[in-house]
Amino acid sequence: MKHTGIIIAIFCLLSIPPSFGIETIHKGDILSLEECIDIAIQNNPNVEISKNNVKLIESRVGQAKSDYFPSIGLNSGYTGDNSLHNSGYSNSHNYYYTAGISLKQLIFNFGKTNASIKMQKFNKISSEFDLDYTILRTAYDVKNAYYGVLAARAKIDIAESNREINKRQYAQIKAYFEEGIKSRIDFVNAEVNLSNSEIELINAQTEYENMLVKLNNAMYVAYAPEYSIKNTETFNLAENWTDIKFLNIGNYKKLEEEINAEDTEPLNYTTSTLTSKIEKSDILEDYVFKPLEISFEEALEKAKENRPDLKSYLATKDAMAESLKYAQREYFPQITANAGYTWRNSDAPYTSSLSYGAGLDITSVNPMRTKYKINEAKTQLDIAIENINLIEKNIFFEVQDAFINLTQFEKQIPLYKKRVYQALENFELADGRYGIGLANFIELQDARSKYLNSQQEYIQTIYNYNIARANLEVAMGER
């Protein structure tokens, strides 16, 4: 029965689906960007590894401090001896037990222990900033994926609108063709455009599903239920949130049925103007763009103040300086105090003794080895200084690059938005001209393509702006 219970327990464990993190998302949750970041920090194994590194070095601080505490020694033993005559017979024997305790206390070692303690404390500070940097990078990964989902969802709306436009144009041109008003080539081209729009919708949905995987991966959450994410201040869609669910992954037959379904809204064949709301809908109709009001100098100053990786290198440099002091002081002796008590029990009456004293402990020193240890410590300090020099330069260029990109996209967003409205107006005019025979089908489709491309470029620019802003925040050391 005992073995049966073990087998059942193992089977139950194997039947549980694997999880890459703590399931902190419930079905129907509406999560903000900050909440997604918190989930990622909670689940990210790299964060836990960094936390354990802090604990590891904290233990080394305690080990270094232990030199200030006395060392305790205990000993005990049993001894016996026999004295023999020349003839080999036993003459006498003596047996005794001994036990003792000893204490040894460091008095002074010319600052070597103090240097060791400071070195480990600076290493601990460095590991804490490494933890902060891991959290910073985790937040950036979530932002990248989060904005990617919002952009991909907007692109689906664009693709659905484009498919709807092509369905209506196909129905209109089919009616014109059957009446002999339009040529067959226009009818065939409209049919091809409809097929292309259906393919573009599938591609948009596939991209969206890939972005969902990326977001769940960034949060280290497997088997995530359906949930929603809120818009951000810098990426606000028409809806307040976006549903996070796989659309038709592995089930494109269902998508094909949706695409080929008959449009229930009656079409007005007598007019060719664009009257459907979905055809004129703006993907980011309520989008309010607020530039990040900060100068390059202010961004650079924040980076110097906040960057945890820079602070980690600064703490490492201080640790290497203390390591050099420790190596240099290996030439010096140390002063110790000691005390001991010994008890002995034998055939004779037991005896005991107490001893104490102080001394100058000159440990065996290899001058050549110590010399090269000092050289190594000096080199490590030089490397730490150069690492600081390197990261300071890298921070400057990272902030500069992110700031230039951010400024560029800040200037582009209003222009791309204006171009969407211009492309829509041009499309409406071309559609009207085509309906009365003043424009050909090529002109109409060129106008439609420009309208579609302008919307896609607008979404892409807003996404690029948000990523550039996230890059600048990382460069400034802000989560």
Determine phi and psi for 352, rounding to 5 degrees: -145, 160
pLDDT of 13 reads 39
3-state secondary structure of 460: helix
pLDDT of 49 reads 94
Higher pLDDT, 166 or 143: 143
Is it the case that residue 418 has pLDDT exceeding 50? yes
Tell me the C-alpha distance between 463 and 211, whole Å.
Answer: 13
Who contacts 214 (Cβ-Cβ below 8 Å, separation ≥6)?
A: 144, 145, 148, 149
| Angle, CA of 433, 434 and 438, to the nearest 5° | 60
Tell me the C-alpha distance between 387 and 390, whole Å.
Answer: 5
Tell me the C-alpha distance between 437 and 428, whole Å.
Answer: 14
3-state secondary structure of 20: coil
Is it the case that residue 48 has pLDDT exceeding 90? yes
pLDDT one-digit tens code per residue, 296-305: 999 999 999 9
- Displacement of CA 403 from its chain's centroid (Å): 22
Is it the case that residue 147 has pLDDT exceeding 70? yes
Tell me the C-alpha distance between 163 and 313, whole Å.
Answer: 55
**Hey, what are 445's tokens?**
């489709």
3-state secondary structure of 102: strand
Determine phi and psi for 96, rounding to 5 degrees: -155, 155
Higher pLDDT, 69 or 93: 69
- Asked whether the beta carbons of 244 and 145 are under 8 A apart, the reply is no
Average pLDDT, stretch 448-475? 92
Higher pLDDT, 281 or 336: 336
Determine phi and psi for 334, rounding to 5 degrees: -135, 145
- Asked whether the beta carbons of 414 and 291 are under 8 A apart, the reply is no
Torsion of the alpha carbons at 272, 278, 279 and 283, rounded to the nearest 10: 170
3-state secondary structure of 262: coil
Torsion of the alpha carbons at 415, 420, 422 and 424, rounded to the nearest 10: 180
pLDDT one-digit tens code per residue, 360-383: 666 667 788 888 989 999 999 999
Closest CA to 409 of 457, 479, 452: 457
Average pLDDT, stretch 112-141? 92
pLDDT one-digit tens code per residue, 253-270: 444 454 455 444 443 333
**Hey, what are 87's tokens?**
């003839």
Tell me the C-alpha distance between 145 and 399, whole Å.
Answer: 21
Tell me the C-alpha distance between 176 and 183, whole Å.
Answer: 8
List domains and CATH numbers for the chain.
2-475 (1.20.1600.10)
Relative orientation angle of helices 367-435 and 441-475, to the nearest 10 degrees? 150
Closest CA to 453 of 426, 431, 434: 426
Torsion of the alpha carbons at 132, 138, 139 and 141, rounded to the nearest 10: 150
**Hey, what are 378's tokens?**
């000096």
Average pLDDT, stretch 410-420? 90
- Percent of the chain past pLDDT 70, that is, above it, reads 76
Higher pLDDT, 103 or 278: 103
Tell me the C-alpha distance between 102 and 469, whole Å.
Answer: 65
Q: Give the DSSP per-residue string, 302-371.
A: HHHHH-HHHHHHHHHHHHHHHHHHHHHGGGS-EEEEEEEEEEEEESSPPEEEEEEEEEEE-----HHHHH
**Hey, what are 395's tokens?**
């921070």
